Amino acid sequence: MHIPFCEELCPYCSFHRITFTERLTRKYFQALRREIKLYQDKGYKFKGIYIGGGTPTVLIDELAETLHLAREIFPIQAISIETNPNHLTSGNIKVLQQSGINRLSVGVPNL
């Protein structure tokens, strides 16, 4: 899954991304959940998810809802996600654990 929103556009990043706005990001997550249901309707079975960005943890509540849906309808065994150090608060880590994340890839800003 690609979550293309970032609070800041780092000059070294070559991935498709845009500056975070809450309204657009929430609409994107809603569309992503509709797309997940389409894959279910088509008979796909996913066992793993890789979530990149952008910054997938930019709206942790939307991310958690999306992962809950995916884990509810697919036999997900592994979830890997990219994030930034400033998003690794104790609250966010708890949400990530409850969402089934078992691998983090942490980007370090260009200093």
The answer to whether the CB of 69 falls within 8 A of the CB of 31 is no
CB 1 within 8 A of CB 55: no
Q: Distances from the Cα of 56 to the Cαs of 32, 36, 38, 40, 49, in angstroms?
A: 12, 16, 21, 22, 12
Quickly list DSSP for 52-86.
EES-GGGGHHHHHHHHHHHHHHS---EEEEEE-GG
pLDDT reading at 13 higher than 80: no
Q: How far apart are CA 35 and CA 105, in angstroms?
A: 24
Q: What is the mean pLDDT of residues 21-35?
A: 98
Over residues 38-96, the pLDDT tens digits come to 999 999 999 999 999 888 999 999 999 999 999 999 999 999 999 988 899 999 999 99
pLDDT of residue 102: 93
Please name the CATH architecture into which domain 2-106 falls: Alpha-Beta Complex (3.90)
Domain boundaries, the chain: 2-106
